[in-house]
Structure 1
Amino acid sequence: MEIRVLRYFLTIAREGSITNAANFLHVTQPTLSRQIKDLEDELGQKLFIRGSHNMTLTAEGMILRKRAEEIISMVDKTEEEFNSMETTVGGDIYIGSGETDAIKLVAQVAKELRNSYPDIHYHLYSGNAEDVTERLDKGLLDFGILIQPADITKYDYLNLPARDLWGVVMRKDSPLAEKKSIKKEDLINIPLICSRQAMSQRSKNEFVEWFGEDFDKLDVVTTFNLVYNAAIMVEAGIGYAITIDKIANTAESSNLCFRPLEPSVDSGLNIIWKKYQIFSSAAELFLERLRESFGDIEQSFSFR
């Protein structure tokens, strides 16, 4: 029993004649008559009482009409649901990032996109550049946000319109808190808390140039990959954390404060993705919105 033939059957029942139904369906009368005769033969039941100018349903035909209407309604609903899938964007987007205030920019794009497509869901992963790129390479992330300098030669990327200012997070009752900025000589012979990435990739790290030959004289007592944990160590009095601004809680109610480096050090940021990446429809649309927002921005790493 074909759906097309059931539609023919229902049209004849509604129109009341082969002629009217054939005109409505844009098929020939012999073709329509043959399709209904084949349906009756398949079911072993007579479906219509044929008059000289009209056709009426038999009792068996009335039963089939009820069932056919249910079947056609379900078929139409199913087709509508699948057709809507082609126009409704939904799914999951996976984003990895280091700790940076610039995530606010990406969050705004994510919010605006989800206002239009509420079936999109985001999953965030926090880590340093090594963590993020490893997961990106394995296909566990769609996008990564990296703080410069970082090796992005094997990725496609956009620059974000923000810069992270580097400095030192310390207790407000520490001697260095009285200074407006921190010079490299201030950091010699005091306990420091540095990011694990800074210590493991010295050849690419911004502080090599800033500290110069004094880098190896630093007393690094703790390394970290999340500033939240580093701030707890600072508050406990273990040392001074070298990090970027606006990540640790240095509000008036906090015991901690931030002092920038002198000369100042700031970094640009990139949002990256694998070259030749095949995205889901949701991730593709997210990338389109990112390009609309940040496509013409140039950023760099600098000492000032």
Structure 2
Amino acid sequence: MEFRVLRYFLTVAREGSITGAADFLHVTQPTLSRQLKDLERELGKKLFNRSSHSIILTDEGMLLRKRAEEIIDMVDKLEAEFSSMEETITGDVYIGGGETDAMREIARVVKDLQISYPNIRYHLHSGNEDDVTERLDKGFLDFGILIQPADLSKYNYIDIPVKDVWGVVMRKDSPLAFKDTVQAVDLLNVPVICSRQVMKQTFSKNEFADWFGEDFDKLNVVTTYNLAYNAAIMVDEGIGYAVVLDKIVNTSIHSNLCFRPLAPRLESGLNIVWKKHHVFSAASDIFLKEIQEKFSNSLSDI
């Protein structure tokens, strides 16, 4: 199976038609159709349901699309790493993480590195812990930013010298908006919007559940979310109160929303992690050395 044919297949899947894909790839329609039929023959499976105007992926085609995207991503990353092995350091650094203000610490490292290594490119992937660790384990990411508590047994890691503060985002006209802080009892009789990570028991350790206490299971969770931006829209539309980290949702003077911290105060530390025995590109190795130096120095000053 050739990488070129996989790229052809992905283009057809994206365009939804042979004609559109052939135009995009600058190949003839008969050539592209023949390549797809050869691919189906090689795999022994039908990948498309064809009509006069469009094509739709079969279940086998959907599976191939997922695997082909992973393969092509890895090939592109490998090619980029080898192309960076020059006297002038170039290349790509892949970083994944959830929504957190700690990304500012990463941005400051990147900004400093740009002075000496302007040809290094940085690629950010947003996702929850499960998504980030899966991509780390498959080699699609070089580094991940995980909110504590997290399973660090498979990774090398360093603490990021900041903490995230937990609280509740709500409409400014809601009853709880007139309070300075939110206590557990305040959340018992209101609709609550929580991240899926918060609702998951992680290694029998869940900081929010521990903070809330024995009535955690009595929460009226009406919506779960993966990205806080979407949760903020639900709050703005009056669906409920969102348990989130501070500085993630827009609560400026022009926003309809406000943030109130939990009381007693609840904070979460963060780690930047990478696979043990991972072979870094020159660009990623430089980034690692920079964060080790800066974050270690910052922690020693605390």
TM-score computed with the length of structure 1 as normaliser: 0.69
CA distance in 1, matches of 2:118, 2:169: 39
Answer yes or no: is the 8 Å Cα contact 1:189–1:219 preserved in 2: yes
Work out the CA distance in 2 between the residues paired with 1:211 and 1:275.
35
Task: Please give the secondary structure, in 1, of the residue aligned with 2:93.
Answer: strand
Q: Using the alignment, how far apart are the partners of 1:111 and 1:298 within structure 2?
A: 20
Alignment of 1:52-67 (within 5 A): none
Residue 238 (str. 1) matches residue 266 (str. 2): no
What are the equivalent positions in structure 2 for 1:216-255 lying under 5 Å apart?
216-255=217-256
Counterpart in the other structure of 1:294: 295
What is the TM-score of this pair, normalised by structure 2? Answer: 0.69
Q: Which residue of 1 aligns with 2:190?
A: 190
Q: Which residue of 2 aligns with 1:267?
A: 268
Shift of 1:189: 2.0
Native 8 Å contact 2:95 2:144 kept in 1? yes
Distance change (3 Å), C-alpha of 1:88 and 1:175? same
Which residue number corresponds to residue 142 of structure 1?
Answer: 142
The answer to whether the aligner puts 1:212 opposite 2:216 as a matched pair is no
Q: 2:179 corresponds to which residue?
A: 179
CA distance in 1, matches of 2:131, 2:223: 19
Counterpart CA distance in 2 for 1:149 and 1:277 is 23
Match of 1:277 in 2: 278
Give me the CA root mean square deviation.
Answer: 1.6
Within 2, Cα distance between the matches of 1:155 and 1:123? Answer: 20
Identity %: 64
Q: Secondary structure at the match of 2:198?
A: helix
Given the superposition, is the C-alpha separation of residues 151 and 296 from structure 1 closer, same or farther in structure 2, using an over 3 Å criterion?
farther
* Counterpart Cα distance in 2 of 1:233 and 1:103: 24
Which whole-Å CA distance do the structure 1 matches of 2:267 and 2:219 have between them? 21
Q: What amino acid does structure 1 have at the position aligned with 2:127?
A: G
What are the ranges of 5 or more consecutive residues in structure 2 without an aligned counterpart? Answer: 1-83
Letter in 2 for 1:191: P
Equivalent in the alignment of 2:156: 156
The 3-state SS of whatever aligns with 2:215 is helix
Q: Please tell me whether residue 101 in structure 1 is matched to residue 101 in structure 2.
A: yes
Q: For residues 273 and 85 of structure 2, what CA distance do their matches in structure 1 show?
A: 28
Aligned letter for 1:184? A
Deviations for 1:177-234, whole angstroms, at most 9, x for unmatched residues? 0000001000002100000111133632211211111000000000011001100000
Return the alpha-carbon distance in structure 2 between the equivalents of residues 158 and 200 of structure 1: 24
Question: Cα 1:85–1:96, aligned 2, differ >3 Å: closer, same or farther?
Answer: closer
1-structure distance, mates of 2:277, 2:85: 25
Q: Could you say what secondary structure the match of 2:101 adopts?
A: coil
Q: Structure 1 residue 259: deviation in Å?
A: 0.3
Conserved in 1, the CA contact under 8 Å of 2:192 and 2:223?
A: yes
In the TM superposition, what is the alpha-carbon distance from 1:130 to its structure 2 partner? 1.2
Contact residue 85 and residue 282 of structure 2 kept, 8 A: no
Deviations 1:122-157 (Å, cap 9, x if unpaired)?
A: 110001111111110110100001111111121101
Cα distance, 1:249 vs. partner?
Answer: 0.2
Structure showing greater radius of gyration is 1
Return the alpha-carbon distance in structure 2 between the equivalents of residues 120 and 221 of structure 1.
43
Structure 1 residue 295 displacement after superposition: 2.1
Aligned-partner Cα distance in 2 for 1:164–1:221: 24
- Contact kept? 2:168, 2:242, Cα under 8 Å: yes
For 1:147 and 1:189, the matched residues in 2 are separated by 28
Instruction: Find the aligned partners of 1:173 and 1:190 in 2 and give their Cα distance.
Output: 14
Q: Which residue pairs with 2:259 in the alignment? A: 258
**Separation (CA, whole Å) in 2 of partners of 1:269 and 1:199:** 19
Contact 1:233–1:239 (Cα < 8 Å) also in 2 = yes
SS in 1 for 2:213: helix
